[in-house]
Amino acid sequence: MPVFDFSNSKTEKKDPECTYTTFQSNEKVPSPEKPILIIDNKSRQWKHHSCGVFSNPNQKSSFEFKEQDGVFPADILKIDARFVSLVKWLGENHISVRLSGQNTEDGYAIYKIRETAFGGAGKLSAEDGFLQFMIERLLASNAPTELPDGDEEDEDGDDMKLTSIQSITDFMTCAGRTMPDNIRLWARRNLAVAKSHEVSQEERRHAQRALSIMMNIQWKNNYFESIDPVEARRILDEELYGMEKVKQRIIETIIQINRTHTLPAYGLLLVGPAGTGKSQIAYAVARILKLPWTTLDMSSINDPEQLTGSSRVYANAKPGIIMEAFSMAGESNLVFIINELDKATNGKGNGNPADVLLTLLDNLGFTDNYMECMVPTVGVYPIATANDKAQISAPLMSRFAVIELPDYTAEEKKVIFSKFALPKVLKRMSLKEEECVVASDGLDAVIEQFADTTGIRDLEQAAEHIAANALYQIEVNHVSSVIFDADMVKKLFE
């Protein structure tokens, strides 16, 4: 629930010139009723959109309105505790801004702050959008448990791409509290290295690269909003035919998340023959959770360093696949889809990649050798796929709730081919349903042709082949439609 309490406001600073008090708020979308800050309007009613600059809070906590008839300072009365450092930074750098607000009995209630100029009296260290980037990150963060005390360690901010040392420094000053404590401490240390002239250029380069990666990840808490089970079921039905037990198990997981507002302690392990839709289920769950997803293909990973990254002592050092996944997602809450988990035991002398996965799956934090920092993993939901669970080690198996996917029956394959696979291909090829028809005996022939194969991939390829042949006959032989009976199907797949 949003926290917004003016009555319990607390004096921000001991400086007698400071006019404002702070309040705690978890509001994500400010409004005149739930503003970012309030400015005194007793001497003058301010315009809905007003321009000016914040005075340096070390001199006076006010805003200087630039009106047509002059410049008019007005005291800041109240401010969201998350924005104290940002306002101080804007004042110290004399950044021109435009405020959007409304005059109320309590004062001029500000709910938007935008930059209006990049040159002249002041400019931002980063490209266009940097201020908005930080404000969005601040709004996405929770109210600080302790109100800022005005020192240089007060921080908070949001998402763009921070690459320069100056933009990273400004972000740390204004938005550092949106990051976990250990990452904020790590960032300060690496920022010192990146700025130092007492270390090698290579060390400075690595520190700046690591900072850029870490700063551009939005570190979220592990609280999950409720998910609509009806919408979740619709997505599952859209992606999968049949498999009622599998869908039931996934809906149970959704209901569990709704009750606890946290991810389950165990990920999902989908076990079944090739082509039964294991990856489709994983993608569907990611859609239901409304999380970004990334894939780890364990059959192509034979060295643990691919996952953990390499130490900065090496010239070609770089982060591992897991850290890069966080960077690509841009946030700490995401779905890791681990394909072919049963292939994760084949290390090549440098250790076992499967052992690295254990730290990721335990949700206690993951350490990348390049970043040299423990990354929180409480918002990571792993979904693994495997063909043979007998090949998976006991420690890995114990981290998952296992869902076994049976192969499709002949009748189910008929429905999948005629209702899903073929219509999908026809739509992609811009063919009408009446232009490519598979007769009843032709459908039996298709299923019989692939009776010895598992899953539905072969059926999808068969649909592609049939549709392509129909398109060929229509274009070359100038027929209006093609009907595939059993003989035509058998001849086509000879």
Q: What is the pLDDT of residue 60?
A: 60
pLDDT at 145: 54
On whether the CB atoms of residues 445 and 438 are closer than 8 A, the answer is no
pLDDT of residue 36: 93
Distance of CA 115 to the CA centre of its chain: 27
**pLDDT at residue 221, rounded to an integer:** 80
Once rounded to an integer, what is the mean pLDDT over residues 388-394?
Answer: 87
User: What is the three-class DSSP state of 274?
Assistant: coil
Q: If pLDDT is split at 50, 70 and 90, which confidence band does 8 have?
A: very low
Quick one: average pLDDT of 394-407?
Answer: 87
Hey, what amino acid is at 104? Answer: T
Mean pLDDT, the chain, whole residue set = 83
Higher pLDDT, residue 47 or 140: 47
pLDDT over 70 (residue 155): no
Give the mean pLDDT of 145-155.
41
Q: What is the pLDDT at residue 125?
A: 52
Q: Would you state the pLDDT for residue 138? A: 87
Distances (CA, A) of 151 to 13, 80, 88, 109, 355: 10, 17, 10, 26, 43
Check residues 355 and 100 and name the one with the higher pLDDT: 100
- How many whole angstroms separate alpha carbon 371 and alpha carbon 207? 9
Q: Are 204 and 194 in contact (CB under 8 A)?
A: yes
Q: Are 82 and 52 in contact (CB under 8 A)?
A: no
Burial of 270-308, coded b for 16+ CB within 10 Å and e otherwise, reads bbbeebbbbeebbbbbbbbbebebbbbebeebbebbbbb
CA 377/CA 323 separation, integer angstroms: 11
State the average pLDDT over residues 44-66: 82
| In this structure, CATH architecture of domain 410-493 | Orthogonal Bundle (1.10)
Please, where are the H alpha helices in 309-439? 321-329, 353-361, 394-397, 410-416, 422-428
Instruction: Give the confidence band of 225 by pLDDT, cuts at 50, 70, 90.
Output: confident
Q: What is the DSSP letter of 362?
A: T
pLDDT computed for residue 471 by the predictor: 92
Q: What is the pLDDT of residues 269-295, one digit of tens each?
A: 999 888 778 888 899 999 999 999 988
> In which band, very low, low, confident or very high, does the pLDDT at 3 lie, cut at 50, 70 and 90?
very low
Q: Cα–Cα distance between 29 and 428 in angstroms, integer?
A: 41
pLDDT band at 167 (very low <50, low <70, confident <90, very high): confident
Q: How much is the average pLDDT of 169-179?
A: 83
Ranges of each domain in the chain = 21-140, 165-216, 229-404, 410-493
Between 114-123, 369-378, 457-466, the lowest mean confidence (pLDDT) is in 114-123
CATH number assigned to the domain with residue range 229-404, chosen from the 4 options 3.40.50.300, 3.40.50.1370, 3.10.20.30, 3.20.20.100: 3.40.50.300
449: pLDDT confidence band, cut at 50, 70 and 90? Answer: confident
Handedness of CA 194, 199, 202, 206 (dihedral sign): negative
> Does pLDDT of 329 surpass 50?
yes
Q: What is the pLDDT of residue 11?
A: 42
Quote the percentage of the chain above a pLDDT of 70. Answer: 87
Query: Per-residue pLDDT for 15 more than 70?
Result: no
DSSP bridge partners of 269: 384, 402
Assign 168 a pLDDT band (cuts: 50, 70, 90).
confident
Round to whole Å and give the CA distance between 96 and 434. 65
16 pLDDT higher than 60: no
